[in-house]
């Protein structure tokens, strides 16, 4: 993957042989399953990634290992945030925070990634964790995503010093990794406010990674409820009757929702509601 060959990574992670050691090495099976999920995510198949991470969570809960449960929950929180399901991401992150153990590097890295992705979309506070020292047997794929997302967040917050440090970090890694080199190019373009040249380079590797859209704002609970009902085909009058609100109040909430989501038509809002039905 880090060498820039996503199809080869997909083939490698498609090997089901790891299941044979499930009884003896549940942690190893969990790790392999997680890698399968990350590869699917990078390849652009978010639904498959969510399904696979769901499998890893079920296995972790079956074995009763808090570290594995926390890792799976954090991975799912990241993917849910990527899918726009911020409520689901927050729910998973609350569970992760309860079982968080800073001595487990694999849990720390994926939690940092999830918290950063969530903060990027919600404005939540998050510690500057992009420069934790690497440790032996670290998860390089998750760590790469973690640093890249820290870069996105630094640019979004106009923190030039941190953004510059992350660019240097990615550039040094890019000397041996085309994948990291492309992410460094993206960081450079984001900092310069230039067109993202990395998307085409990543796509040539089979990686369909785009910059998270933090131009939209999260909806309030009431707004999400109203938008969900719009997605179900209800009129403003029907929604007002359902929620015991005035039709004018519904119109105000919809006006705010259009503005936050940067949408202009009701059909576009319906599509958004259907695409984010789990949120």
pLDDT in tens, 134-181: 554 467 889 899 999 999 988 888 889 999 999 998 888 767 789 999
Determine, yes or no, domain membership for 48: yes
The whole-angstrom separation of Cα 67 and Cα 148 is 24
CA distances from 218 to 64, 120, 123, 151, 184 (A): 34, 11, 9, 21, 28
Supply the range of the domain harboring residue 245.
221-276
Q: Is 195's pLDDT higher than 80?
A: yes
Is 72 within 8 Å of 34 (Cβ atoms)?
yes
* DSSP state for residue 219 in the 8-state scheme: P
Determine, yes or no, domain membership for 11: no
The whole-angstrom separation of Cα 258 and Cα 17 is 48
Residues ≥6 apart with Cβ < 8 Å to 32: 13, 18
- Identify whether residues 113 and 58 lie together within a single domain: yes
Q: For the chain, what is the domain count?
A: 3
- Identify whether residues 83 and 51 lie together within a single domain: yes
Which of these three, 95, 122, 149, is where a domain ends? Answer: 122
Which of these three, 154, 175, 209, is where a domain ends? Answer: 209
Question: Looking at residue 278, what is its pLDDT?
Answer: 60
- The CATH number covering residue 58 comes to 1.25.40
Report which of residues 55 and 10 the model is more confident about: 55
- Identify whether residues 94 and 139 lie together within a single domain: no
- Identify whether residues 192 and 228 lie together within a single domain: no
Average confidence score pLDDT of the chain: 85
Q: Is 220's pLDDT higher than 90?
A: no
Residue range 228-240: average pLDDT? 96
Report which of residues 87 and 226 the model is more confident about: 226
Q: Is 133's pLDDT higher than 60?
A: no
Which among 191, 190, 167 is positioned nearest to 180, based on CA atoms?
167
- Of all helices (H) and strands (E), which one includes residue 153? helix 140-156
Is 137 within 8 Å of 156 (Cβ atoms)?
no
Q: DSSP 3-state assignment of 25?
A: coil
Residue range 27-41: average pLDDT? 88
Which of these three, 185, 209, 233, is where a domain ends? Answer: 209
Tally the C-alpha atoms within 13 A of residue 42's C-alpha that lie toward its C-beta.
Answer: 29
Question: Looking at residue 213, what is its pLDDT?
Answer: 64
Question: Looking at residue 131, what is its pLDDT?
Answer: 54
Confidence band, pLDDT 50/70/90 cuts, at residue 9: confident
Length of the chain: 279
Question: Looking at residue 18, what is its pLDDT?
Answer: 46
Question: Looking at residue 64, what is its pLDDT?
Answer: 86
The whole-angstrom separation of Cα 277 and Cα 60 is 26
Write the pLDDT tens digit of every residue in 69-100. 999 999 999 999 998 888 889 999 999 998 88
- Identify whether residues 50 and 136 lie together within a single domain: no
Q: What is the phi-psi region of residue 146: left when phi exceeds 0, alpha when psi lies from -120 to 50, beta otherwise?
A: alpha
Question: Looking at residue 203, what is its pLDDT?
Answer: 92
The whole-angstrom separation of Cα 223 and Cα 233 is 16
Report which of residues 146 and 102 the model is more confident about: 146
What percent of the chain stands above pLDDT 70?
A: 89
Determine, yes or no, domain membership for 18: no
Helix boundaries (H) for 157-220: 160-174, 178-192, 198-205
Question: Looking at residue 83, what is its pLDDT?
Answer: 86
Q: Is 21's pLDDT higher than 50?
A: no
């Amino acid at each position: 993957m880090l060498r820039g060959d996503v199809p080869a990574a997909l083939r490698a992670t498609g090997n089901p042989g790891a299941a044979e050691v499930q009884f003896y090495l549940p942690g190893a099976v969990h790790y392999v399953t997680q890698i399968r999920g990350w590869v699917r995510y990078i390849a652009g198949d978010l639904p498959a990634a969510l399904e696979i991470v769901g499998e890893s969570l079920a296995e972790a809960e079956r074995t009763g290992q808090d570290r594995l449960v926390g890792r799976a929950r954090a991975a799912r929180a990241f993917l849910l945030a990527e899918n726009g399901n911020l409520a689901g991401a927050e729910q998973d992150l609350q569970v992760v925070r309860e079982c968080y153990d800073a001595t487990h590097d694999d849990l720390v890295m994926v939690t940092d990634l999830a918290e950063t992705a969530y903060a990027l979309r919600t404005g939540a506070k998050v510690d500057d964790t992009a420069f934790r020292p690497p440790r032996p047997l670290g998860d390089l794929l998750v760590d790469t995503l973690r640093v890249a997302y820290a870069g996105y967040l630094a640019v979004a917050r106009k923190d030039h010093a941190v953004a510059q440090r992350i660019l240097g970090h990615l550039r040094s890694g890019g000397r041996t990794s085309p994948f990291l080199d492309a992410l460094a190019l993206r960081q450079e373009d984001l900092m310069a406010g230039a067109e993202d040249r990395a998307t085409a380079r990543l796509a040539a590797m089979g990686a369909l990674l785009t910059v998270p859209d933090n131009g939209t704002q999260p909806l309030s609970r009431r707004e999400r409820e109203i938008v969900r009902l719009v997605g179900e085909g209800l009129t403003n009058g029907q929604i007002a009757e359902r929620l015991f609100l005035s039709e004018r109040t519904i119109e105000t909430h919809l006006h705010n929702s259009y503005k936050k989501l940067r949408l202009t038509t009701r059909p576009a809002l319906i599509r958004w509601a259907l695409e984010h039905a789990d949120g």
